[in-house]
Structure 1
Amino acid sequence: MLVIGLMSGTSYDAVDAAAARLRLDGDTLVLKPLGMVSTPYDGGLREALAAALPPAAVPLAEVCRLDTRIGQAFAAAAVRANRELCEEHAELVASHGQTVYHWTEGGRVHGTLQLGQPAWIAEATGLPVVADLRARDVAAGGQGAPLVSLVDLLWLRGRPGTPVALNIGGIANLTAPDGTAFDTGPGCALLDAAARESSGGRLAYDAEGALAARGLPYRPLLDRLLAEPYYALAPPKTTGKELFHSGYLRAAGLDGLCAEDALATLTLLTARTVADAVRSVGATEVIASGGGTRNPVLMGELRHLLPGIPLRTSDELGLPAPAKEAYAFAVLGFLTAHGLPGTDPRSTGARHPSVLGSLTPGRSGLRLPPTPRGGPVRLVVEA
């Protein structure tokens, strides 16, 4: 099956669309990556989305407008991927949507909201769409995240030692081979917020860690940030920009620090919290993906804090680091279309595995393949 996976993470800068040919070979799921295209949100949509994220209060009219405009942006990305990446017409689209709120209280997730109306994708492509993938796991008592953990477990199975999959997006998360999976804390979320604040909105992020490279960490601020109670919670646990946003930085006392020192401090915070999480699961190898891997200062800090633990990117295992999550959602869409669970309860804390998402029929209706007798136990990436 040729599937397009659509993803926009907590950095909400673009829609990534990855095309993959997927097939079941016995108990092995074989993924052949066909490439990724990244389509930036237009400036007006990105500004509207940023203004709507927590802790902002937003009228329902704006939620409706965002759901429509994000759905149209995802639809355009899917059309582009189908045209530019697929040697023949795709058969399915799997859309993560744009997370705007993850309702967490008392260590439990009570609800989650992703915008990006899938009807626009189905209308533009003519293809069936799997969307709203997180909600079913939440309904089953799970955290709804990290949702790529099952894909990581299948992908890393058979590697020696204790390999850990790490994704550094706006929020960082990891998956260990025993099924432990959780958000470690901020990935690039606070870095992006500080870059925007310090530049008056001119910079969306600290490109290649250039500001952090010129600064020095301010230890009193780092100590205050490391005292955040989230880090002491036991997994499974999830977080997001409901906690780690620009207001969080202002409350932590960023005022008075130059941009370079602020970014150096926040880069070290991300590296410290990720490294602590990696050590807590006994990792012998880290395979990283996500936008944070393009920040050499952050990656250098991580290598310094994890001596003796190889830190690789997913490119070395055949999945380009910027595209890995989009490919993961293509896999989850494939599993849903075949009636197979897309979660592992060890990772999310749910009561049972769940077939994820809702299905929007394409132009020719909805014809699903038969459900195999058993699901895959490993994922192999084909060159």
Structure 2
Amino acid sequence: MLVIGLMSGTSYDAVDAAAAELRLDGDRLTLRPLGMVSASYDAGLRASLAAALPPAAVPLAEVCRLDTGIGRAFAAAAVRANREVCAERAELVASHGQTVFHWAEGGRVHGTLQLGQPAWIAEATGLPVVADFRARDVAAGGQGAPLVSLVDLLWLRGRPGRPVALNIGGIANVTAPDGTAFDTGPGCALLDAAVREFSGGRLAYDADGALAARGEVDGRLLHRLLGEPYYALPAPKTTGKEVFHAGYLRSAGLLDGARTEDVLATLTMLTARTIADAVRAVGATEVVASGGGMRNPVLAGTLRELLAEIPVRASDELGLPAAAKEAYAFAVLGFLTAHGLPATDPRSTGARHPSVLGSLTPGTAGFRWPAPAEYPPQRLVVETPERATANGTPVGSR
């Protein structure tokens, strides 16, 4: 089945559309990455989204406008991916949508909201769409995150030692081979918020970590930030921009006359330190990293320094492009849903049981469900271009 996975993370800068050919053969699920397109939100939509995120109070009219605007943006990305990567052969779209609120209180998640109405995607592409993945896990008592942990578990199974998957987006998360998975804390969320505050909204992020590289870590401030109670909570746990936003910076006194470069250097160390602490806590012998945070050389370099004895390699080395790994993961989740298979591991999310995720919006011709699979896959094999060519199957181009 040829599936397009759509993803926009907590940095809400762009919609990634990754196309994959997926095959289920016994206990093995094979993923052949075909390529991706990435489409930035237009400036107006991104500004509206930023203004609507917690702790802002938002009228329902604005929620409706955002749901429509984000849905159209996801639809446009899907159309491009189907045309440019799939030669109009895609069979299914799996859309994560845009998380705008994750209702976590007292160590439990009570609800979650992703915008990006899938009807716009189905109308634009003519394809069936699986969307709203997180809600079912939350309804089953889970955290609804990290939701791609099952993909990580299947993908890294069989590697020597204890390989740990790491994704650094707005929020960072890890998945260990025993199923332990959780958000470590802020990835780029506080860094991005600080840059926007200090630049008066002119800059959205610290490009290449250039500002942080010119700063000095404030040890006392770092110590105070590390006292955040979230870090001491046991797994499974999840957090988001409901906690780590500009108001968090203000309450911590980071915006009161401090030098921009020093604040960013300190926040970079905070992100790297909390990730490193989490990686050591789960006994990692290897880190396979992805997400936009890995494109920040200062953050990635600081993390590697803190984990000097533990190799940190980009997911590209194992066949999944770091920039599109989560979009590919949602293509897998959509494929599992289409085949009636659960796409969660209760060890990772804390749910009472595994769940078949998402809801279906039919395409122009409706949707013919594949024959239900007899049992879920036990491993995920990523077919690299070299392996695909060896098998006589040319890989699609971007």
- Note the 1:121-140 alignment, pairs <5 A: 121-140=121-140
**Whole-Å separation in 1 of the counterparts to 2:380 and 2:355:** 19
**Whole-Å separation in 1 of the counterparts to 2:258 and 2:368:** 58
**Whole-Å separation in 2 of the counterparts to 1:237 and 1:62:** 30
- C-alpha deviation, 1:88, in angstroms: 4.7
Matched, 1:259 2:256: no
Give every structure 1 segment of 4 or more consecutive aligned residues whose post-TM-superposition deviation is greater than 2 Å: none
Matched, 1:93 2:93: yes
Matched, 1:273 2:274: yes
**Whole-Å separation in 1 of the counterparts to 2:372 and 2:217:** 53
Instruction: State the Cα deviation string for residues 92-122 of structure 1 (Å, max 9, x = none).
Output: 0000000000000100000000000000000
The alignment partner of 1:322 has SS state of: coil
- C-alpha deviation, 1:87, in angstroms: 3.7
The alignment partner of 2:324 has SS state of: helix
Range with bigger deviation, 213-222 or 318-327: 213-222
Range with bigger deviation, 281-290 or 216-225: 216-225
**Whole-Å separation in 2 of the counterparts to 1:237 and 1:325:** 19
The alignment partner of 1:216 has SS state of: coil
Task: Tell me, yes or no, if the aligned pair for 1:221 and 1:253 is still in contact at 8 Å.
Answer: no
1:293 matched to which residue of 2? 294
Q: Letter of the aligned partner of 2:237 in structure 1?
A: K
**Count, aligned residues:** 383
1:214 matched to which residue of 2? 214
Q: Letter of the aligned partner of 2:351 in structure 1?
A: A
Instruction: State the Cα deviation string for residues 96-154 of structure 1 (Å, max 9, x = none).
Output: 00000000010000000000000000000000000000000000000000000000000
Matched, 1:226 2:226: yes
**Whole-Å separation in 2 of the counterparts to 1:191 and 1:138:** 28
Name the TM-score, length of structure 1 as normaliser.
0.99
- Note the 1:149-168 alignment, pairs <5 A: 149-168=149-168
- Note the 1:1-383 alignment, pairs <5 A: 1-254=1-254, 255-383=256-384
The alignment partner of 2:215 has SS state of: coil
**Whole-Å separation in 2 of the counterparts to 1:325 and 1:151:** 9
Identity of aligned residues (%): 83
Q: Letter of the aligned partner of 1:305 in structure 2?
A: L
Structure 1: tracts of 5 or more residues without a match: none
**Whole-Å separation in 1 of the counterparts to 2:118 and 2:9:** 17
Name the TM-score, length of structure 2 as normaliser.
0.96
**Whole-Å separation in 1 of the counterparts to 2:185 and 2:299:** 14
**Whole-Å separation in 2 of the counterparts to 1:38 and 1:11:** 14
**Whole-Å separation in 2 of the counterparts to 1:124 and 1:231:** 43
**Whole-Å separation in 1 of the counterparts to 2:297 and 2:50:** 26
Instruction: State the Cα deviation string for residues 229-255 of structure 1 (Å, max 9, x = none).
Output: 000000000000000000100110111
2:393 matched to which residue of 1? none
Task: Tell me, yes or no, if the aligned pair for 1:24 and 1:30 is still in contact at 8 Å.
Answer: yes
Structure 2: tracts of 5 or more residues without a match: 385-398
**Whole-Å separation in 1 of the counterparts to 2:154 and 2:87:** 27
**Whole-Å separation in 2 of the counterparts to 1:87 and 1:346:** 39
**Whole-Å separation in 1 of the counterparts to 2:248 and 2:196:** 14
